[in-house]
Amino acid sequence: MAESFFGLNIAVRGLFSAQRSLDITNHNLNNINTPGYSRQQAVQVASRPMALADGTGMMGTGSDVIGVKRIRDEYLDFKFWSENLSYGEWSVKNQVLADLEVMFNEPSDSGFTTIMSDFFDSLQELSKDPSSAAVRSLVKQRGVTLAKFFNNLATNLEELQKDINYRIQTKVEEVNSLAVQIQQLNRQIYITELGGNTANDMRDQRTVLVDRLSKIINIEANEIVTGYTPDGREDKHFVITISGKALVDHFTVSKLALEQRPSDKKVNREDAGNLYEIKWADGNKLNIKGGELRGYLDVRDGNEGSVNPDNGLVSPNYKGIPYYLKKLNEFVRVFARAFNEGYIDLDGDRAFDPDEVGTGHASGYGYNTDKTGIRFFTMTGEGRQPLSTEDFLDGATDPADIFDIYERITAKNFSVSADILDDYNLIATSDASGEAGNIRVLNELLDFRRNADMFSEGAPEDFMKSLVATLGIDSQQADNYSDNQQIVVNQIINRRLSNSGVSIDEEMANLVKFQHAYNAAAKMIQTMSEIYETLINKLFV
């Protein structure tokens, strides 16, 4: 009698197979906009055939759905993680260098070129009438504007460095959070698949997390076969490593940690205090080779491979914020030394040479005063108050000692001296006391504007133009690299979507196909029912 219902059993199997495929199609359509979702497909096979009693062969028993397959190309995942790493690094550098360009604000009406030009133009006006109180006041104010330009620029760079330091902290916390989430998914996936099932949706969630992680730091993600389960299947563990050390080792996590640099152990002299170093939580050194973290570290610490004389450490071989701060500090030191002392480092050895001392502001006399030795530019002291010449020199009289004092000047503390701020009549113009029309010293000061020996790049304006040009080139390079990497990443994303993404047209075609299969199976059940009804009710009555 069981064999009499054999055809009905086959039809029911077909009905269930079509229904399962319809459910999977429905699931695909519902997740068409889910980030990272991989299209799923029923694994349908012919069920085990039955041997006929008369030995004439094997009779098919219909179909079974033995699993749900996740459509995924692992090669594209590995390729995406590799390219996303570089994109993360250069997108960060592109963004930060664009911010730096805005800070330098060149060329513009409020940039360095305009401010420096205004300062020397005021000195030129003073040469026409050295006794004019209005012009002397103008020279003082233009000098203050010049100093404030460097003060504000250095402060903004320092604040940007602190902001990047905070972003590094945020990114490290994100890495640790992603690692914990991946570890939790590893546990859920392992438990789910231990009984032979496939945790497709959880694997998609894990891949999305790894995608995010790959943009932040250089990782390698692999499923490693560690043995075999009791039923003979491979026992796989999911491992994520950073430079060879496991961040996630299946069920365990090794977190990253931040350690503040001591204020007396800066990587660069120009660094703000309390910057973070990234290490493993167990204290081991971490080698960050790419990603957003590498980008942030380069722009925060990059000083073109210079060696810090305070601790002998070498900063990254990249032109980051410390590099531009270093160049600004170099400018104000050299310019102030030249303008005040008349010192031009002709041989470029940055060492004091009495033969290189000329005429500077300290050599001249102001209007209606017999004072000499007044420095136009000094620095701020405690409370950010400008220092007088006396306080700035701190008792130094030897030219070599005075030369070294200028090393204390930075772009942040650069200032017009308190002497000039208190009395603009002290602005030196003549080389002799009581000679109001004598402008020999003032002419020497005016010559500094176009003195090509002041810097290795040339005159003061040439130095700043070279610095801005360097920044522009680096910014353009970062922009190009970022755009190119984005194109590569987008191409891989498109290939992933074409392989794993859900297509409405394809799923609708599958919907019609499985619906017809379901209807055909239902029709077969109806037909078999009619056959059995005829057989039972009419032949056996």
- The residues, ordered by sequence, that sit 6+ positions from 253 with a Cβ below 8 Å of its Cβ are 176, 179, 180, 183, 247
- Amino acid letter, residue 397: T
pTM of the model: 0.90
pLDDT per residue as tens digits for the range 463-502: 999 999 999 999 999 999 999 999 999 999 999 999 999 9
Q: What are phi and psi of 506, to 5 degrees?
A: -65, -45
- Amino acid letter, residue 291: G
Residues of the chain with pLDDT under 50: 1-2
Rounded to 10 deg, the angle between the 112-128 and 133-193 helix axes is 170
Q: Supply the pLDDT for residue 529.
A: 84
Cβ distance 148 to 332 under 8 Å? no
Q: Supply the pLDDT for residue 4.
A: 56
Separation CA 513–CA 520 (nearest Å)? 11
Cβ distance 316 to 308 under 8 Å? no
Q: Supply the pLDDT for residue 201.
A: 95
Cβ distance 12 to 525 under 8 Å? yes
The full DSSP string for 77-143 is HHHHHHHHHHHHHHHHHHHHHHHHHHHHT-SSTTSHHHHHHHHHHHHHHHHH-TT-HHHHHHHHHHH
